[in-house]
Structure 1
Amino acid sequence: MREVLLRQSRPLPEVSMPLPTALYHLLLREGRTFRTAIDLLPRLKRVGISHLYLSPIFQATEGSTHGYDVTDPTAIDASLGGREGFSELARAAKEAGIAIVLDIVPNHTAFNLENPWLLDVLTHGQDSRYARHFDIDWSKGRLVVPFLGEPFAAERFRIEEDKLTDGTLSFPLRPGTAGDDIAKVHEDQAYRLTFWEMERDSITHRRFFNVTGLIGMRVEDEKVFEDTHALIFDLVRSGEVQGLRVDHIDGLADPKQYLDRLAAALPDTPVWVEKILTGPECLPAEWKTMGTTGYESARALARVLTDAKGFEAIDTMWREATGRTGDFETALDLAKEEVIEGDLAAELLQLVELGRAAVGPKAEAGDAWLREAIVALLRHFPRYRTYFNADTARDEDRRIMEETLAAAAQDLRTDRVARLLVEAILTAPTPEAERFRMRFQQVTGALLAKSHEDTAAFRWNRYLATNEVGGLPDEATLDVAGFDAFLQGMAPSHVNLTSTHDTKRAEDARMRLVAISHLPRQFQSLWQESTTLPEAEGVDPNLRWFIVQTLLAVWQDRDDLGTRLRDHLQKAMREAKEITNWTHPREEAEGKAQAFAAALLARWTAHLPEAATVLMRRAEQMSMAQVALKFAMPGIPYLYQGTESLSYHLTDPDNRLPVDYTLLDTLDTPKARLTRTMMGLRQAHPAFFENASAHADAPEPNRLRLVREGAGRLEVVVALDGTELAPGNVASGTGAVSIHWTEV
Structure 2
Amino acid sequence: MTPTATYRLQLQPEFPFSAAERAVPYLAALGVSHLHLSPVLEAVPGSTHGYDVVDHSAVRAELGGEEGLRRLAGTAREHGLGIVLDIVPNHMAAAPVHNRALWEVLREGPASPYARWFDIDWAAGDGKVLLPVLPSPVGDELAAGTLRVEDGALHHGDRRFPLAPGSEELPLPALLDAQHYRLAWWRLARTELNYRRFFTIPELIGVRVEDPEVFTATHAKIVELVRDGVVEGLRVDHPDGLADPEEYLRRLDEATGGCWTVVEKILADDEVLPAGWAVAGTTGYDALRHIDGVFTDGAGAEALERRYRDVAGPAGDRGGYWHGTARRAAYKVVFHELAAETEFLVRTARRVCAADPALRDHAPWALRTAVRELLVRMPVYRPYTTAGGPCPEAAEAAVSEEAVRQAKTAFAVEREATAVDVVRELALGRLGTGEDQSEFCARFAQTASALRAKSLEDTAFYRYVPLLSANEVGGDPGSPAVSPERFHAYCLRLARDWPSTGTVLTTHDTKRSADVRAGIAILAECPERWDQLLEQVAGVAAPDPQLAWQAWQTAVGFTPAVDGTPPDGARMVPALLKSVREAGLRTSWTEPEPLYEQAVAAFVEAGPAGPGRRTVTAFNRALAPYVRASALGAALVHLTMPGVPDLYQGTEREYLALVDPDNRRPFRTGPPDDRTVVTTAALRLRRERPELFAESGTYTPLHALGPAAAHALAFVRTGAAVTVATRLPYGLERAGGWRTTELPLPPGQWRDVLTGREVSGTVRLAELCDQFPVALLTAV
TM-score class, shorter: over 0.9
Report the more deviating stretch, 390-399 or 577-586.
390-399
- Structure 1 unaligned segments of length 5 or more: list them: 1-16
Shift of 1:178: 1.2
TM score, norm. by length of structure 1? 0.93
The residue type equivalent to 1:424 in the other structure is: L
Instruction: Tell me how many residue pairs correspond in the alignment.
Output: 720
Match of residue 187 from structure 1? 177
User: Over residues 159-194 of structure 1, what are the superposed CA-to-partner deviations in whole Å (9 max), with x where a residue is unaligned?
Assistant: 211112244432111122111411111211111111
Matches within 5 A, 1:679-698: 679-690=683-694, 691-695=697-701, 697-698=703-704
The yes-or-no answer on 1:78 pairing with 2:51 is no
SS in 2 for 1:602: coil
Q: Mind listing any 5+ residue stretches in structure 2 that lack a counterpart?
A: 744-749, 756-768
Answer whether contact 1:718 1:736 (CA < 8 A) is retained. no
SS at match of 2:103: helix
Q: Which moved more, 1:135-144 or 1:79-88?
A: 135-144
Residues 131 and 176 of structure 1, relative CA distance in 2, 3 Å threshold: same
| Residues 706 and 716 in structure 1, CA contact (< 8 A), matched pair in contact too | yes
Alpha-carbon spacing, 1:412–1:530, altered in 2? closer, same or farther (3 Å) = farther
Report the Cα offset of residue 480 of structure 1.
1.6
Per the TM alignment, residue 698 of structure 1 is displaced from its structure 2 partner at its CA by 4.5
- Which residue, 108, 111, 119 being the options, matches 1:127? 111
Residues 471/717 of structure 1: CA separation in 2 closer, same or farther (3 Å cut): closer
Kindly provide the amino acid, as one letter, of the partner of residue 468 in structure 2: L
Equivalent of 2:642, from 622, 630, 634?
634
Q: Distance in 2 between matches of 1:508 and 1:608?
A: 16
| Greater alpha carbon shift after TM alignment, 160-169 vs 64-73 | 160-169
Per mean C-alpha deviation after superposition, the further-off stretch among 71-80 and 696-705 is: 696-705
Question: How far off is 1:708 after superposition?
Answer: 1.2
Amino acid at match of 2:637: L
Give the SS at the match of 1:301.
helix
Q: Tell me which amino acid in the other structure corresponds to 1:351.
A: L
TM-score (norm 2): 0.89
SS in 1 for 2:716: strand
Alignment partner of 1:423 is 2:425: yes
Q: Counterpart of 1:127 in structure 2: which amino acid?
A: A
Deviation for aligned residue 1:495: 1.2
Given the alignment of the two structures, is residue 594 of structure 1 paired with residue 575 of structure 2, yes or no? no
Q: State the match for 1:10 in structure 2.
A: none
Evaluate the alpha carbon distance shift between residue 87 and residue 307 of structure 1 in structure 2; reply closer, same or farther with a 3 A threshold.
same
Return the match for 1:392 from 377, 380, 390: 390
1:285 is the counterpart of 2:268: no
Q: CA deviation at 1:306?
A: 0.7
Mapping of residues 417-566 of structure 1, within 5 Å: 417-426=419-428, 427-431=430-434, 432-490=436-494, 491-533=498-540, 535-536=541-542, 539-556=543-560, 557=564, 561-566=568-573
Work out the CA distance in 1 between the residues paired with 2:605 and 2:29: 41
Output the CA distance in 1 between the equivalents of 2:485 and 2:18.
47
Query: For 1:30-429, what aligned pairs fall within 5 Å after superposition?
Result: 30-113=13-96, 114-140=98-124, 141-153=127-139, 154=142, 156=145, 157-323=147-313, 325-360=319-354, 362=357, 363=359, 364-389=361-386, 390-401=388-399, 402-413=401-412, 414=414, 415-426=417-428, 427-429=430-432
What amino acid sits opposite 2:558 in the alignment? Answer: V
C-alpha contact 1:501 1:652 (8 A) present in aligned 2: no
User: How big is each residue's C-alpha offset from its partner over 1:27-81, in whole Å with a ceiling of 9 and x where there is no partner?
Assistant: 0104110001100000011000101101101111111110000011111111100
| CA deviation after TM superposition for structure 1 residue 559, in Å | 6.2
Within 1, Cα distance between the matches of 2:595 and 2:112?
Answer: 48
User: Cα distance, 1:622 vs. partner?
Assistant: 0.7
User: Within 1, Cα distance between the matches of 2:229 and 2:341?
Assistant: 41
In 2, the alpha carbon distance for the partners of 1:341 and 1:110 equals: 25
Distance in 1 (alpha carbons) for counterparts of 2:721 and 2:754: 17
2:775 is aligned to 739
Distance (Å, rounded) in 1 between the aligned partners of 2:712 and 2:216: 49
The answer to whether the Cα contact below 8 Å between 1:501 and 1:655 also exists between their aligned partners in 2 is yes
The DSSP-based 3-state class of the residue aligned with 2:161 is strand
Report deviation, 1:736.
4.4
2:655 is the alignment partner of 1:655: no
Task: Identify if the C-alpha distance between structure 1 residues 551 and 260 changes in structure 2 by more than 3 Å, giving closer, same or farther.
Answer: same
CA distance in 2: counterparts of 1:645 and 1:740, whole angstroms = 18
1:400-429 CA-to-partner distances (Å, cap 9, x unmatched) read 323321221233323210111112223143
Residues 412 and 607 of structure 1: is their aligned pair in 2 closer, same or farther, counting only changes over 3 Å?
Answer: same
Measured in 1, the distance between the counterparts of 2:723 and 2:291 equals 17
- Compared CA separation, residues 67 and 743, structure 1 to 2 (3 A): same
Over 3 Å counting, the alpha-carbon distance change for 1:94 and 1:376 in structure 2 is: same
Query: What secondary structure is seen at the aligned counterpart in 1 of 2:632?
Result: helix
The residue number in structure 1 matching 2:751 is: 729
Distance 1:425 1:510, change over 3 A: same
Distance (whole Å) between structure 1 residues aligned to residue 633 and residue 566 of structure 2: 29
1:373-418 per-residue CA deviation (whole Å, 9 max, x = no partner) reads: 1111111111100011143310221233233212212333232101
Distance 1:621 1:276, change over 3 A: same
| SS of equivalent to 1:386 | coil
Post-superposition offset of 1:615: 2.7
Distance 2:132 2:70 in 1: 39
Give the stretch that moved more between structures: 713-722 or 476-485.
713-722
Separation in structure 1 between the aligned mates of residue 406 and residue 269 of structure 2, nearest angstrom: 17
Residues 461 and 543 in structure 1, CA contact (< 8 A), matched pair in contact too: no
Partner of 2:764: none
Aligned-partner Cα distance in 2 for 1:420–1:75: 45
Q: Please state whether the residue corresponding to 1:477 is helix, strand or coil.
A: coil
Note the C-alpha offset of 1:605. 4.0
Contact 1:273 1:293 in 2 (8 A): yes
Q: RMSD of the TM alignment (CA)? A: 1.9
C-alpha separation in 1, matches of 2:256 and 2:729? 49
Q: More deviation in 128-137 or 688-697?
A: 688-697
Following superposition, the deviation at residue 738 of structure 1 comes to 3.7
Alpha-carbon deviation of 1:699?
Answer: 3.5
CA positional deviation for 1:703:
2.1
The alignment partner of 2:726 has SS state of strand
Aligned to 1:603: 611
Structure 1 segments of 4+ aligned residues over 6 angstroms from their partners: 724-728
Shift in Å, 1:457: 0.2
